[in-house]
């Protein structure tokens, strides 16, 4: 299977549909809709957002980057936000392609480090990021003190 991964506005209907599906999955896993500490990402603070589409044009995966100015994570750092793959496309390699595209975009923004947060009830995501070379780091920013957060980083 192949995909086309393109920059897409954060508020584009395909991007919004994928993020809605992600929220529904997280709500089901965590039993509530209150599972993100801090300021939710928006078009105003996520300058890079990509959507992967299948050969027939169906959106199957997404992810974005939010620059950080947090002394804890260091300068020249971006955070992966709203990384999501439709369940039907999982295991196909599209997640790796989206993540590598985000890392390329991070370098283009001048970032040297990519950080991210995922949750304790997302062991599949934890395994994915570890397999892709991300290392566990202390909780940062609004995640500090969160019992359900796990943070990772990778130098790019």
Domain residue limits, the chain: 3-155
Where does the pLDDT of residue 70 fall: very low under 50, low under 70, confident under 90, or very high at 90 and above? Answer: low
CA distances from 77 to 43, 65, 96, 141 (A): 18, 10, 20, 12
> Residue 51 is encoded by which pair of tokens?
């959507």
CA distances from 52 to 94, 99, 139 (A): 8, 11, 29
Where does the pLDDT of residue 129 fall: very low under 50, low under 70, confident under 90, or very high at 90 and above? Answer: very high
> What pLDDT digit, counting tens, does each position of 72-113 carry?
566 689 999 999 999 999 999 999 999 999 999 999 999 999
Q: What is the mean pLDDT of residues 133-153?
A: 94
Cβ contacts of 11 within 8 Å, gap of 6 or more: 43
Which helix (H) or strand (E) segment holds residue 152: the answer is strand 149-155
Q: Average pLDDT over the chain, rounded to whole?
A: 93
Where does the pLDDT of residue 32 fall: very low under 50, low under 70, confident under 90, or very high at 90 and above? Answer: confident
* CA-based max dimension of the chain: 43
pLDDT at 37 over 80: no
pLDDT at 71 over 60: no
DSSP code string of 18-64: HHHHHHHHHHHHHTSS----SPPP-TTT--EEEEEEETTS-EEEEEE
> Residue 101 is encoded by which pair of tokens?
């595209």
> What backbone torsions phi and psi does residue 53 show, to the nearest 5 degrees?
-120, 145
Q: What is the mean pLDDT of residues 66-73?
A: 73
Q: For residue 2, give the nearest of 102, 96, 90, 92 by alpha carbon.
A: 92
Where does the pLDDT of residue 149 fall: very low under 50, low under 70, confident under 90, or very high at 90 and above? Answer: very high
Q: Which residue has the higher pLDDT, 71 or 31?
A: 31
* pLDDT score of 78: 95
Question: Looking at domain 3-155, what is its CATH homologous superfamily?
Answer: Gcn5-related N-acetyltransferase (GNAT) (3.40.630.30)
Where does the pLDDT of residue 39 fall: very low under 50, low under 70, confident under 90, or very high at 90 and above? Answer: confident
Q: Yes or no: say if 63 and 87 are a contact pair by the CB < 8 Å rule.
A: no
- Which residues are registered as beta bridge partners of 52? 5, 61
CA distance 106 to 115: 11
* pLDDT score of 74: 67
């Amino acid at each position: 299977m192949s995909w086309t991964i393109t920059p897409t506005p954060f508020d584009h209907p395909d991007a919004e549909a994928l993020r809605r599906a992600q929220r529904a999955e997280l709500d089901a896993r965590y039993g509530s809709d209150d599972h993100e500490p801090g300021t939710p990402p928006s078009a105003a603070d996520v300058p890079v957002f990509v959507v992967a589409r299948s050969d027939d044009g169906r959106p199957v995966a997404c992810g974005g980057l939010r620059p950080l100015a947090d002394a804890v994570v260091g300068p020249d750092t971006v955070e992966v936000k709203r990384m999501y793959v439709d369940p039907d496309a999982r295991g196909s390699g599209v997640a790796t392609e989206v993540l590598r595209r985000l890392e390329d975009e991070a370098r283009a923004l001048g970032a040297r480090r990519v950080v991210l947060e995922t949750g304790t009830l997302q062991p599949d995501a934890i395994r994915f990021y570890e397999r892709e070379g991300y290392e566990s780091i202390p909780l940062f920013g609004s995640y500090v003190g969160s019992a359900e957060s796990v943070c990772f980083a990778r130098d790019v």
